[in-house]
Amino acid sequence: MSRRRITLADVARHAGVSGTTASLVLSGRGRELRISESVEHRVREAADELQYRPNIVSVGLRTGTTRTIGFVSDTVATSRLAGDMIKGALEAARDRGVMLFIGETEGETDLEQGLLRAMHDRQVDGIILASMFTRTVKVPTGLKTGPAVLLNSVPDRSAPLPSIVPDEVEAGRTAARVLLDAGHRAGIHLIGAGPGIHDVPRDALAGVERLTGIGEILDQAEVTVAGGHICSDWLPNQGYDATCSLLERERPRALICLNDRLAFGAYQALDAFGLKVPDDVSVVSFDDHPIATWVRPKLTTIALPHYELGRKAVDVLFAEIDRRRDDVEPDKETYRIPMSVRIRDSVRSPQ
Amino acid sequence: MSRRRITLADVARHAGVSGTTASLVLSGRGRELRISESVEHRVREAADELQYRPNIVSVGLRTGTTRTIGFVSDTVATSRLAGDMIKGALEAARDRGVMLFIGETEGETDLEQGLLRAMHDRQVDGIILASMFTRTVKVPTGLKTGPAVLLNSVPDRSAPLPSIVPDEVEAGRTAARVLLDAGHRAGIHLIGAGPGIHDVPRDALAGVERLTGIGEILDQAEVTVAGGHICSDWLPNQGYDATCSLLERERPRALICLNDRLAFGAYQALDAFGLKVPDDVSVVSFDDHPIATWVRPKLTTIALPHYELGRKAVDVLFAEIDRRRDDVEPDKETYRIPMSVRIRDSVRSPQ
DNA sequence: TCCTTTCAGTTATACGAATGCAAAGCCTGG
DNA sequence: CCAGGCTTTGCATTCGTATAACTGAAAGGA
């Protein structure tokens, strides 16, 4: 096909110097190692002219660093959430000249192991283990060797690792404040979880934390939640069913839906009962799924910061890589990324 | 940190043979090169015991093949479409023991160039250039060097490349047949494009092809489209507006929406006018976006085969890699992946 | 004058696996 | 008992880059 790639040796020959000299110049250490200005210039010229690009595979073999990180998630396709997280990670990586391997485990341990091994075989500089919904995970052994970060999940006691999660408790507080600020004091119902703090779908750490935040603010205001309805999955039809069964019993003034898909179902149920959002019932929700702007009226929701989560994961990972290099003790902090509210048209004061 | 990786030399030493022998055995060429059974066994034992894994970076340097491919798309986050395509590609890659680099160009040529270069620097075995909506693309120079495949786009005359696209024309035919089979003969309106074959959003190849298929079948049945309404973006609010302006003028019996998000908007408009789907108006659409199963009644739609597109791209890419290796002339075929209909509850016979 | 520094690079080697070539061991037939 | 062929294994080199160690010449100091 096209002719052979240009190597460092070609550049050196073209500039009439040794490979070492060319290497020194191009890795920017020419100055400190006393390469003369003229030689430095010659080498740079030659590299430019030949369009030299270092072969990263070779550098990887020699130095052990490949400017490559792995992004392993349990599911990439389930929702666009993953997409935004990957996008954030991708951009942060690009800023550093680093490439991203991606892999998907589908929650299966052996696939996960295989993937982590495949990545280590390729000498990745670090790994991001991402989860598609916030939860506690057992850290796989394959992660304990090199630099790693948990994204959207926190480690159980098995191993300390830095982790990045959305600040769900604060999001819960925000949601409650939105309703209080609008003047709601009664008839507030939860859709998807509650009323107890542990009435959440299995492993749904986000649920627990959102409820915690909600409860905290409502308690402070001495407002009590009128009721809650747990759903096993946070999907539209469950939101619909839960809301219907609520509406058969009583007339709520406000709904806090645990995510936007539930809220979408709730909209449908309210519509079926001839109730208007926000005149009859206010709705506030979580995630800022695209559908939140598609429904009428548009949904006020507390946004998951997927993009920022992805970016932050890369930042923390590189900090971790640096501390390992410098032999500093590893990070094990949990970074909470703020979730900001998107005020739209689904909340109004009662009356 | 943990102790040094096990290398081939360790295995050889442990088995009491030379590196060559160990290499031969482990690369499966022991038989053909007549390594004795006992030695072969010893080497395998040693490799097992030490948990040897070949360092792919090294192999990459030596052989030039890294068991890695690049997946470059214009946007990964815009919709979940990308997610499914990546998922398909990922699984097909995993079946081959290959890893995937991903990158995003955001449609910018210089980012694209940088990415392609970064991938070549890492000696990828091939590249998939994916587009998030079906269109014609100018093949970037960086792709002409190595094996490459176009996904969800076709090359312009600048260079021949194999490409994978959904079979949109046939999808259009299917949509038309769905309505004809239900007995619709009049009052069929298009939302999002039409009535002319080139009344589509800029670059929306999918639009042209869907319209072609629709027109073909309706013509055969001597049915004429009652009207069409082009939308600049295929988003819910545009579907809403288009449908509202239609409903102000006349009463349609069936809508063909050019995608599910438009259909969602159409649902809202129909609802606002007090019209019921499917009793008053049938709706058929394209894509099979998750929302198609969330709306009530569920939407009959012709599904984009994202997952299959991703898989096929990897298959074709590897076929291409093989033919380059064997010096066979390159592939330049366009592979059309069938789009299958998801019959749900939004179509009923008129009357 | 002789020895030490500094300068401005170069030579040699390593990273881990693959592979062409050579050679050692074994067997068989004369 | 040995030549010659086959079988089995090892040595040395290669991929492209980084880097420790070294060198030859000039300059500086006693």
Contacting residues of B for A271, CB less than 8 Å apart = 271
Share of chain B above pLDDT 70, in %: 96
Contact flag, residue A245 CB and nucleic strand D, below 7 A: no
Average pLDDT for residues A270-275, to the nearest whole number?
Answer: 96
What is the per-residue pLDDT across B83-127, written as a single tens digit (0 to 9) for each?
889 999 999 999 999 999 999 998 899 999 999 999 999 999 999
pLDDT at position A152 over 90: yes
* pLDDT score of A1: 38
* pLDDT score of A281: 98
Share of chain B above pLDDT 90, in %: 74
CA pair distance B192, A5, nearest whole angstrom: 48
More confident residue, B144 or A167: A167
Contact flag, residue B20 CB and nucleic strand C, below 7 A: yes
* pLDDT score of A204: 87
CA pair distance A344, B16, nearest whole angstrom: 72
Could you say which residues from 106 to 145 on chain A have a Cβ atom under 8 Å away from some Cβ of chain B? 111, 114-115, 117-123, 144-145
Predicted confidence band of residue A3 (pLDDT cuts 50, 70, 90): low
CA distance A325 to chain B (A): 10
Binary contact (B97, A118; C-beta < 8 A): yes
Indicate the residue of A2, A100, A111 with minimum beta-carbon distance to B145. A2
Nucleotide nearest to B58 (CA to C1'): C16
Contacting residues of B for A86, CB less than 8 Å apart = 76-77, 102
Average pLDDT for residues B298-304, to the nearest whole number?
Answer: 97
Contact flag, residue A19 CB and nucleic strand D, below 7 A: yes
* pLDDT score of A142: 86
A37 inside 8 A of chain B by CB: no
* pLDDT score of B79: 61
Closest CA to B147 of B120, B118, B130, B127: B127
Strand order in the sheet with A254-257: A227-230, A188-192, A254-257, A282-287, A300-303, A341-342
The radius of gyration computed from the CA coordinates of chain A, to the nearest angstrom, equals 26
Indicate the residue of A61, A111, A117 with minimum beta-carbon distance to B53. A117
CA pair distance A79, B84, nearest whole angstrom: 9
pLDDT at position B194 over 90: no
Predicted confidence band of residue B30 (pLDDT cuts 50, 70, 90): low
CA distance A111 to chain B (A): 9
Mean pLDDT estimate for chain B = 92
* pLDDT score of A337: 97
Indicate the residue of B68, B77, B268 with minimum beta-carbon distance to A296. B268
Residue A237 and residue A265 in contact, taking contact as beta carbons nearer than 8 Å:
yes
| Residues 6+ positions from B48 with CB-CB distance below 8 Å | none
* pLDDT score of B1: 38
Mean pLDDT estimate for chain A = 92
Lowest mean pLDDT among A135-144, B26-35, B48-57, B113-122: B26-35
Closest CA to B254 of B184, B196, B301: B184
Contact flag, residue A18 CB and nucleic strand C, below 7 A: yes
| Residues 6+ positions from A222 with CB-CB distance below 8 Å | none
Most confident of A1-10, A279-288, B42-51: A279-288
Average pLDDT for residues B254-280, to the nearest whole number?
Answer: 97
* pLDDT score of A325: 87
* pLDDT score of B80: 63
Contacting residues of B for A83, CB less than 8 Å apart = 76-80, 82-83
What is the per-residue pLDDT across B141-175, written as a single tens digit (0 to 9) for each?
889 888 999 999 999 988 899 999 999 999 999 99
What is the per-residue pLDDT across A17-56, written as a single tens digit (0 to 9) for each?
988 899 999 988 876 767 888 888 999 999 999 999 999 9
Contact flag, residue A154 CB and nucleic strand D, below 7 A: no
CA pair distance A278, A182, nearest whole angstrom: 11
Binary contact (A294, B90; C-beta < 8 A): no
Nucleotide nearest to A61 (CA to C1'): C15
pLDDT at position A77 over 90: no
Binary contact (B1, A145; C-beta < 8 A): yes
Indicate the residue of B2, B115, B291 with minimum beta-carbon distance to A291. B291
What is the per-residue pLDDT across B3-16, written as a single tens digit (0 to 9) for each?
578 999 999 988 88
Binary contact (A97, B80; C-beta < 8 A): no
| Residues 6+ positions from A133 with CB-CB distance below 8 Å | A152, A203, A204, A205, A206
Indicate the residue of B54, B57, B82 with minimum beta-carbon distance to A66. B57
Contact flag, residue A9 CB and nucleic strand D, below 7 A: yes
| Token output for A284 | 């506030």
Contacting residues of A for B101, CB less than 8 Å apart = 68, 99-101
Beta bridge partners of A311: none
Share of chain A above pLDDT 90, in %: 78
- Helix-, strand-, coil-residue percentages of chain B, each rounded to 5: 45, 20, 40
What is the per-residue pLDDT across B228-256, written as a single tens digit (0 to 9) for each?
999 999 999 999 999 999 999 999 999 99
Could you say which residues from 147 to 176 on chain B have a Cβ atom under 8 Å away from some Cβ of chain A? none
Q: For chains A and B, what is the number of CB pairs under 8 angstroms?
A: 146
Contact flag, residue B220 CB and nucleic strand C, below 7 A: no
Nucleotide nearest to A55 (CA to C1'): D16
Contact flag, residue A36 CB and nucleic strand D, below 7 A: no
Half-sphere exposure at residue A212, Cβ-oriented, CA atoms within 13 angstroms: 11
Binary contact (B83, A77; C-beta < 8 A): yes
pLDDT at position A299 over 60: yes
Nearest residue by alpha-carbon distance to C1' of D20: A20
Residue B16 and residue B42 in contact, taking contact as beta carbons nearer than 8 Å:
yes
CA pair distance B206, B183, nearest whole angstrom: 26
